[in-house]
Amino acid sequence: MSRRIQEHYKRRATASRAYSDYSVVPLEDGTYRVEKVDGTTYLVNLDAGTCTCPDFQRRIARREELAGVWCKHMHLCAASFGRSR
């Protein structure tokens, strides 16, 4: 199940990037700041596998069967800066 979910988030990140809905800025501590066009900001840490977005906090981080699944913001950061899973 998690592979299917992982692919879902990856597709969402690709679509968001294509429409320039987000800007991604690398920070000095190895994290990334992801900002939506409406001004909402999330912090992503790919090494720790975390994101401050509600989707990650409420769904992914709380469900054991989704351990290791990235949200679309995490995929967006990885794609923007050539990081891979």
pLDDT by residue for the chain (85 residues), tens only, comes to 577 777 877 777 776 665 578 899 999 998 999 998 899 999 999 999 999 999 999 988 888 888 888 898 998 998 888 776 6
d(CA 16, CA 18): 5
| Coil, helix or strand at residue 30 | coil
Closest CA to 41 of 73, 8, 15: 73
Phi, psi of 68 (to 5 degrees): 90, -5
pLDDT (0 to 100) of residue 68: 84
Cβ pair 45, 31 in contact under 8 A: yes
**CB neighbour class for 51 (10 Å; exposed up to 12, middle 13-18, buried from 19):** buried
